[in-house]
Amino acid sequence: MPYSSRDMDEYPLSFISKLDSTLVKEISLNLDWYLKNSSEVLLNVNYPSRTEKEFLRHIEMWQQEKNDINYRIILQQLQES
């Protein structure tokens, strides 16, 4: 049975202490997000945490901005030639 972030407060400390402390801290800080996205998050399947998802979204936006700049440069070069 997979462990759900929604049920983290129901597990005894002996179980939670075996988890990565960073993960426990992540869940406690972002519990509301995990509760809203509980269908995505299974602790035993290596789904990304909220912090990782936000980081990946940031990288995606940065990459898109970089692509947009390159596209504008190419368009400008085509117009000049």
C-alpha span between 20 and 46 (Å, rounded): 12
For residue 16, give every residue at least 6 positions away whose Cβ sits within 8 Å of its Cβ, in sequence order, or none.
8, 24
Residue 66 sits at the vertex; the CA angle it makes with 61 and 70, to the nearest 5 degrees, is 145
C-alpha span between 13 and 53 (Å, rounded): 27
pLDDT, greater one: 59 or 43 = 59
* Tokens coding 7: 């049920």
Grade residue 22 by pLDDT with cuts at 50, 70 and 90. confident
pTM greater than 0.85: no
Q: Delimit the domains of the chain by residue range.
A: 1-47, 48-81
Grade residue 32 by pLDDT with cuts at 50, 70 and 90. confident
**Residue range 26-48: mean pLDDT, rounded:** 66
